[in-house]
Structure 1
């Protein structure tokens, strides 16, 4: 685990304030926008944690919005993404930063260089979309970084137990089969409530969360909510020169919805 436990600290602060963490995802896509400024904007507006996509040659996310953002980032290098992470760490010393790792990410980069670069640039952990690929869950867990394994609804009890044992802080429970999928708030809320009844470790919920109503429904049953495709969409559909403002407005609304009524 990182010497400075930012992720644990963020969880504690949110718990004490009776709200869920707000995790905002952004892809490193310099051709599309200014990712450094947008990341700062998201935190200023209320994001507790930043999840960052690292496009590599073979990575092809299943969700349409994030897959398209990876295509738009095809001209950038992984080294540029690491440089962005390092700049963010310097600018945001208290904000947890979690690079997103697909199986292709580790295949393209290799586990040792990936873990070394993540630690060097100030990552607090890695979100693992397929935590059992190539033993990645245990490799991250023993590296000093916080493993955040993504668990699909189809995960077996044994897989969930293995993920919870290796996760230092959180697991990530998928509510849809892919990012950006359509989410029924009532069904998602019921699913999150069921997960909360059996979870041995705090968990994030994500995949398809796109508005305040969904966030408000899920916040009482999870440690945090992840908004990814909706954040990318807010930036992509805004007019040039207004993207930071559009993201700020969206993130502020999402943050307000994380408060749990007592």
Structure 2
């Protein structure tokens, strides 16, 4: 068994002590190319990312909307591989041993590499968690439990359609945090109603002490601030992949992501200031 680093637990403990939510940023590894993507990854913690989700590019990202699908395609066309994705994590760990990194994607690339080989390399590289959107709890023995044996948290998604009967099964082996998908549909969908999401998050808290990150449809500092008033973390993805995809040059994409991260982080941090005043 690999020794756990518990970066995710420590980060959420720090956020709770500071009475603020965290910012979780998503980028696709290798988008638009390896060098620019690595530069972006290395810049995210200083810009204000509390947790980083790094997408594992896959040819059939069925749960993702057009923006993240396009980012995945750019990465694959640029030659991104699982080996390069893990190399990016190693490069981050050379300068940052505190910021949690969660790999997000689909089971196929992991299965093709071999579960044990992937988990051993991921743990060695410094990966803290996995979000694998196409492996339901019924298949925990395939990846979830082996990942946890390697010291890697397995982060599950809950949605507005996860009913009271299904929720205990979703939560059973979830660790790190719970990712609450605030709207139905694919990533990048319409922004959720903060009031409705707050009620749904509160209902989940009755069943779990895990931190809850809320994502899908959050694109602006104003939206992030509203969600940060009650969530433990705010997850933003498509806004970053759009920033990269719309940039004229790779270096422009890096700058746009860094600028957006700063503005989102500031909004998330100030969300509870009124309560403290």
TM-score by length of 1: 0.89
Contact 2:182 2:192 (C-alpha < 8 Å) held by counterparts: no
Query: Paired residue for 2:222, among 206, 213, 217?
Result: 213
RMSD: 2.3
- Give aligned pairs, total: 262
Q: 2-side partners of 1:90 and 1:25: how far apart?
A: 20
Counterpart secondary structure, 1:22:
strand
Per the alignment, residue 157 of structure 1 pairs with: 164
Counterpart secondary structure, 1:130:
coil
Shift in Å, 1:92: 1.6
Unmatched 5+ stretches in structure 2: none
Contact 2:82 2:109 (C-alpha < 8 Å) held by counterparts: no
Deviation digits for residues 171-230 of structure 1, max 9, x if unmatched? Answer: 111112221111133444444344445544221111111111211111122111111111
Query: Paired residue for 1:248, among 258, 272, 275?
Result: 258
Deviation digits for residues 114-144 of structure 1, max 9, x if unmatched? Answer: 2122112110111232342632333323332
| 2:206 matches 1:202 | no
TM-score by length of 2: 0.85
After superposing on structure 2, the runs of 4+ consecutive aligned residues of structure 1 that deviate more than 6 Å are: none
Shift in Å, 1:109: 3.0
Unmatched 5+ stretches in structure 1: none
Q: 1-side partners of 2:114 and 2:159: how far apart?
A: 24
Per the alignment, residue 174 of structure 1 pairs with: 181
Q: 2-side partners of 1:35 and 1:14: how far apart?
A: 27
Counterpart secondary structure, 1:126:
strand
1:104-143 superposed matches below 5 A: 104-132=108-136, 134-135=139-140, 136-143=143-150
